[in-house]
Structure 1
């Protein structure tokens, strides 16, 4: 079933919702002027080259200098050099943003830089709806709750995501299906650390600083049926649900899934196949590993700003 996108733009915030297979797949909110710096293009100044990291630290006007890996650089920059760079990864914890000199833009950043002194912003980063639509290949519709936003978003789609052009429409929020109440209920589900599966299993999400652990529990189901058969059923159900939950919760980095142990290798392969088919709902998932004999599976999801919990805590004060 095709995805449907809903965009709500007001003076103080932007909200973006993606509905897939009749369920909420993504929910983003961003205050005006408080968005991500990913994609922003800057004229920066090299403040230090660190040979041990094979990288340079570049001042671009943020709180911390950005890190520019030099492995794929041609001529190595020196301290004090001016460079045009683009942010490709957010800073986190004590680290600054990750930079690249491989610039992706329709704007002539070099021409803009001629009149600037580093550090300076040359091209502003995309806002919430631009980043979110830019990650999607195709959707059935893009619904806005203000008429004025329709031509703006449609023109952006024509330039940056042609497959989405012509699909932008206006519909007052009171007429949205799903309704605002449906969306709020789904967000509340995404803020709960436990997810109950229809077949009797349960997922437990435990994000920590370095990774996210997901435990698959069969609950009481194994007491009623044969263990191996029930474990396979719960594992497959969990595999189909986990990508949606990761997208909804916006959990990035390394994810370790602890499935119920399966001794039969063929059954372990069935679970992995179900997981790899299900990741299509989430364009941010970059890699899925194999299952160990202990039922552990690693996957890698691209970090994409704050988590659902962080976004909605800020949005609700």
Structure 2
């Protein structure tokens, strides 16, 4: 398999794409703001045991950042010397998502000194991906023909095209992610059942790709076009499972129901793209709009190296930038110089980002 990792160190965030055989298979975003507010997967902390829950055979551990982590004891049970208030070294195995804190595992590490505190930070995004895919070639975004902005925007869409025709409709709810297979005008010779079988096989492969691409975890239900033939149904299930073999996350796929629905469970390893970039209503968060505006300002600054630039934003986005200036102002100044102003326009829509010469 031909793999390439494309990385972009943008202002306010690091973005990366894993490309397998010419198609984007994974998209990742590490926000600079999360470094001080979230416990990243792979980081090691000296935590403080806040509560032991015997009914769960687990404990809740204060990491000093974000919500308390969940530490399951497993078959071995509660470790010797483990008690409420104790300082205990743990590694983050799964980042917090929605209302749930991170999942932890006990590790052998320094257990003295103040707690809670960070002992070992998580590897940078590029290094984590290189360790996961050692056979992959690494490229910076400006060395690649991949448009990360376009790929990320497509991965946030409710719909995704199926190769050969048709589309997937992908809707995330609090309980699960529902994916509907829509023929969308696709035609084929051989009748309705032949069309359904061909469409569903293609849809199964694309659904598996989209689930991995978007970082979706938990329960997913895929509603395929109805097929009467048992062999065709089995072929669709097999196509889904084969595609998931490339996915490093654990995926359990249930047999197709009589109604043509396949349920699966994908291991959560972090927040999905939508959880990082969108708010509860599905609109870009204030931070997402702020960073997109800074990317636009930086691009204009590189293209126009003499003029002073003005970035006009919605008031709430400007307020976010002003309150988080330590995250971006120095980095942007290093890249294009101290020749920009940020101006708020009261009443402007959140996604407003206008760059002009001062």
Q: Shorter chain as normaliser: what TM range? A: 0.7 to 0.9
- Give the distance between the partners of 1:230 and 1:87, measured in 2 at CA: 46
Partner of 1:17: 17
Residue in 1 aligned with 2:131?
Answer: 134
Which residue in the other structure is 1:274 paired with?
239
Deviations 1:186-233 (A, max 9, x none): 333222111222433221101111211111122334697511111000
Secondary structure at the counterpart of residue 290 of structure 1: coil
Q: Any unmatched runs of 5+ in structure 1?
A: 146-172
Decide which of 172, 183, 187 is 1:218's aligned counterpart. Answer: 183
**Distance in 2, Cα, partners of 1:46 & 1:191:** 38
Query: Are the equivalent residues in 1 in contact too, given 2:215–2:271 (CA < 8 A)?
Result: yes
Q: 1:100-139 CA deviation, whole Å, 9 max, x = no partner?
A: 11x3xxxx723xx33x222121111223223333333532
Question: Paired residue for 2:5?
Answer: 5
> How far, CA to CA, are the matches of 1:79 and 1:31 in structure 2?
33
Map residues 241-252 of structure 1 onto 2, 5 A cutoff: 241-252=206-217
Q: Deviations over 1:264-312 (max 9, x none)?
A: 2111111111111112343224222221222111222222333223444
Counterpart Cα distance in 1 of 2:194 and 2:103:
46
Deviation at 1:70, TM superposition (A): 2.4
User: CA separation in 1, counterparts of 2:11 and 2:158?
Assistant: 32
Match of 2:260 in 1: 295
TM-score, normalization by structure 1: 0.78
Please name the residue that 2:224 is paired with: 259
Aligned pair partner of 1:52 in 52, 55, 58: 55
- Cα 1:132–1:304 shift into 2, 3 Å: farther
From 129, 140, 144, give the equivalent of 1:144.
140
Ranges in structure 2 where 5+ consecutive residues have no aligned partner: 278-283, 291-358
How far does the alpha carbon of each residue in 1:222-257 deviate from its partner, in whole angstroms, 9 at most, with x for none?
Answer: 697511111000000001111221122221111111
CA gap 1:138/1:288 in 2 versus in 1, 3 angstroms: farther
1:58 Cα deviation from its structure 2 partner:
1.7
Q: 1:293 to 1:138 in 2, by over 3 A?
A: farther
Give the whole-Å Cα distance in 1 for the aligned partners of 2:138 and 2:25.
14
Contact 2:244 2:251 in 1 (8 A): no
Please tell me the root mean square deviation across aligned C-alpha atoms, in Å.
Answer: 2.4
Q: Which has the larger radius of gyration?
A: 2
Structure-2 change in CA distance of 1:56 and 1:241 (3 Å): same
Structure 2 equivalent of residue 64 of structure 1: 67
Matching residue of 1:73: 77
- CA deviations 1:1-48 (Å, max 9, x no partner) are 512111122563312112223222222222325255222111122222
Instruction: Point out 4+ residue stretches in structure 1 off by more than 6 angstroms.
Output: none
What's 1:189 paired with? 154
